[in-house]
């Protein structure tokens, strides 16, 4: 019987080729850098077969990493980020949307930087938070020692609720909230976030303080704005303006990944630093909004079509293409380079994995994810199958969530994906989800439905934001305007790298 929450058993015999790593990873206390991109998804990486993107630095990271080839997250951004911070499903954090007060991560959770602080780590976030813009939900009040963030789900966003960035903010020269105070930065947002993170990493390294750096880009989320030098190649190839911006943003991220890895080399940090790279949900439409639509035409009239690694679904979908993302784990000399882990893993697994690496204790009753260290040490380790649950959420505010229980959801185990109560796909034989085999496997469907029903009953009372009133103010707007009146917004002093 497959259990929904279980921890792996490590088979000693299967581990023999990897014993050196197995001896060293648990409690090894590396510095940890987690880079998470916004709406990139799985396909837009050169090593994943993308036909026109050039990502040499992501490709080099891929080559030097253990890669989880079936790493699954939520269909949209705030939900995934809450799972990373807590080790449990987003809806169990109260996060059932990306706006309308339903992006706020419950204050009852003991989140990742708080856990790491118990074992002497210092934590910094650089970029996108998107788990509540009201003060008590902000990262500098929830365990992060350094917070350098924009508001809402993207730079310049503003909704009729608390979820809003600084007023009239732009991707170039954005105003950023730095440890509770706004500063005016100069340059393209992704460059700025990596520069801030590198300055902080250098400082912690020189102080010999173990750290967790969370570099969370808002790119390549729309609007699809990229530095001119990054987008020009795509415009010259014939891509429409938005699509050129989308791909240009990804290549700019790749440039910054190269800058990060060069600095780790320069500062002799590769031997004591783990770098993890991932995205927060499946790929957005790259400016097209959907699969099957041409993104532009080449000079000879050939249509440029969206590439999504032959998966069904994009961001927002409960199909594989909506939730599958890269997950690369690199630690020179400690993690096996060039190895693939084909077991399903998920956003809920990062928290217990980092606890295992750092020697931290898990908060009682909170975590439903698994420690992935045994699979990082040995991709062939024994690993009991399990169910993972996806729900799109995003029902209208004020309605009963139970009305949407059996809509826009999926249950996944290693072999099957059960979608929307009417389709079952054999993901090993049919990874593109072309053949519905629901009639051939009634017992599998029955088992998945029962597991999902049990999960929903546990999760439903934890959706704590469903009746939250809309905030009458936008906190970032209020704080920004108050600061303008009382001394203004100073220029940010970029670190000397």
| pLDDT at residue 5, rounded to an integer | 38
Pairing of strands 175-178, 146-150: antiparallel
Domain ranges of the chain: 13-377
| Burial category of 274 from C-beta neighbours within 10 Å (exposed 0-12, middle 13-18, buried 19 and up) | buried
pLDDT in tens, 163-185: 999 999 999 999 999 999 999 99
> What does the pLDDT average to over 371-389?
97
Percent of the chain with pLDDT over 70: 94
pLDDT tens-digit map of 49-74: 999 999 999 999 999 999 999 999 99
What's the confidence (pLDDT) of residue 17? 41
pLDDT at 476: 98
Q: According to the model, what pLDDT value does residue 288 have?
A: 67
Dump strand ranges (E) for 369-493.
388-391, 409-412, 416-419, 423-426
Query: Please, what's the b/e burial string for 380-403 (b: 16 or more CB within 10 A of its CB; e: otherwise)?
Result: ebebeebbbbbbbbbbebeeebee
Comparing CA positions, the residue from 52, 56, 54 lying closest to residue 238 is 52
- Confidence band, pLDDT 50/70/90 cuts, at residue 470: very high
List C-alpha distances in Å: 456 to 75, 98, 348, 393, 401. 17, 20, 16, 12, 10
pLDDT over 80 (residue 145)? yes
What distance in Å separates the CA atoms of residue 418 and residue 445, rounded to the nearest whole number?
A: 7
Burial class (CB in 10 A: 0-12, 13-18, 19+), 452: buried
Fold for the domain defined by 13-377: Alkaline Phosphatase, subunit A (3.40.720)
* Range in 18-27, 101-110, 252-261 the model is least confident about: 18-27
Answer positive or negative: Cα dihedral of 278, 316, 190, 494.
negative
Which of 63-67, 282-286, 328-332, 465-469 has the weakest average pLDDT? 282-286
What phi and psi values does residue 12 have, to the nearest 5 degrees? -60, -45
Three-class DSSP category at 269:
coil
Contacts of 430 (CB under 8 A, 6+ apart): 437
Mean pLDDT of 80-84: 98
Mean pLDDT of all residues in 127-150:
98
- Per residue in 426-440, pLDDT (tens digit) is 999 999 999 999 999
Averaged pLDDT for residues 449-460:
98
pLDDT for 289: 57
**Longest Cα–Cα distance in the chain:** 69
The reported pLDDT for the residue numbered 290 is 64
- Picking from 218-232, 267-281, 290-304, 348-362, which range would have the lowest pLDDT averaged per residue? 290-304
Q: How confident is the model at residue 298 (pLDDT cuts 50, 70, 90)?
A: confident
Stretch among 12-26, 136-150, 383-397, 464-478 having the lowest mean pLDDT: 12-26
Residue 86, CA atoms < 13 Å, CB-side half-sphere: 26
Chain segment 125-136, per-residue pLDDT in tens: 999 999 999 999
Q: Provide the mean pLDDT of the chain.
A: 94
Asked if the model's pLDDT at residue 291 lies above 80, the reply is no
Percentage of the chain lying above the pLDDT 90 cut: 91
Residue 421 has pLDDT above 80, yes or no: yes
- Does position 15 have pLDDT exceeding 50, yes or no? no
CB 290 within 8 A of CB 296: no
pLDDT digits (tens, 9 = 90+) for 98-120: 999 999 999 999 999 999 999 99
Q: Which one is predicted more confidently, 3 or 26?
A: 26
Measured distance CA(186)–CA(194) in Å, rounded: 13
Contact criterion met (CB below 8 Å) for 34 and 213: yes
Q: Provide the b/e sequence for 331-343 (b: ≥16 CB within 10 Å).
A: bbebbbeebebeb
pTM metric for this prediction: 0.94
Report residue 367's pLDDT band, with 50, 70 and 90 as the boundaries: very high
Does the pLDDT value for residue 11 go beyond 60? Answer: no
Band the pLDDT of 292: cuts 50, 70, 90. Answer: low
């Amino acid at each position: 019987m497959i259990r929904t929450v279980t921890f792996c058993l490590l088979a000693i015999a299967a581990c023999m080729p990897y014993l050196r790593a197995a001896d060293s990873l648990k409690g090894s206390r590396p510095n940890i850098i987690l880079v998470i991109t916004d709406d990139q998804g799985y396909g837009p990486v050169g090593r994943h077969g993308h036909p026109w993107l050039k990502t040499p630095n992501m490709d080099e990271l891929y080559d030097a990493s253990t890669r989880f080839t079936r790493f699954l997250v939520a269909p949209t951004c705030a939900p995934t980020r809450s799972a990373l911070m807590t080790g449990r499903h987003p809806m169990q954090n109260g996060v059932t949307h990306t706006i309308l007060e339903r992006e706020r991560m419950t204050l009852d959770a003991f989140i990742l930087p708080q856990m790491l602080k118990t074992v002497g780590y210092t934590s910094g976030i650089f970029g996108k938070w998107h788990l509540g813009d009201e003060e008590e939900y902000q990262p500098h009040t929830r365990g992060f020692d350094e917070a350098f963030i924009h508001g809402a789900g993207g730079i310049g966003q503003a909704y009729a609720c608390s979820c809003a960035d600084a007023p009239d903010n732009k991707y170039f020269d954005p105003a950023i909230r730095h440890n509770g105070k706004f500063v005016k930065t100069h340059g393209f947002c992704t460059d700025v976030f990596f520069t801030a993170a590198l300055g902080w990493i250098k400082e912690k390294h020189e102080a010999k303080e173990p750290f967790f750096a969370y570099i969370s880009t808002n790119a390549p989320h729309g609007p699809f704005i990229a530095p001119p030098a990054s987008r020009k190649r795509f415009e010259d190839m014939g891509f429409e303006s938005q699509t050129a911006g989308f791909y240009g943003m990804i290549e700019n991220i790749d440039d910054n990944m190269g800058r990060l890895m060069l600095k780790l080399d320069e500062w002799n940090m590769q031997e004591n630093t783990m770098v993890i790279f991932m995205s927060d949900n499946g790929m957005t439409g790259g400016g097209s909004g959907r699969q099957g639509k041409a993104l532009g035409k080449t000079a000879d009239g050939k249509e440029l079509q969206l590439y999504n690694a032959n998966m069904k679904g994009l961001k927002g979908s409960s199909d594989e293409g909506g939730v599958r993302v890269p997950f690369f784990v690199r630690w020179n000399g400690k993690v096996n380079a060039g190895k693939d882990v084909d077991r399903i893993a998920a956003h809920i697994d990062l928290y217990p994995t980092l606890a295992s690496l750092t020697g931290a204790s898990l908060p009682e009753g909170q975590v439903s994810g698994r420690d992935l260290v045994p699979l990082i040490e040995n991709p062939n380790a024994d690993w009991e199958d399990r169910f993972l649950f996806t729900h799109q959420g995003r029902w209208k505010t004020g309605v009963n969530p139970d009305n949407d229980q059996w809509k826009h959801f999926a249950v996944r185990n290693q072999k099957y994906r059960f979608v929307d109560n009417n389709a079952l796909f054999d993901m090993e034989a049919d990874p593109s989800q072309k053949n519905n085999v629901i009639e051939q496997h009634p017992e599998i469907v029955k088992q998945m439905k029962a597991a999902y029903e049990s999960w929903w009953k546990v999760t439903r009372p934890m959706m704590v934001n469903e009746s939250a009133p809309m905030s009458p103010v936008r906190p970032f707007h209020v704080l920004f305007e108050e600061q303008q009146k009382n001394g203004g917004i100073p220029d940010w002093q970029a670190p000397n790298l």
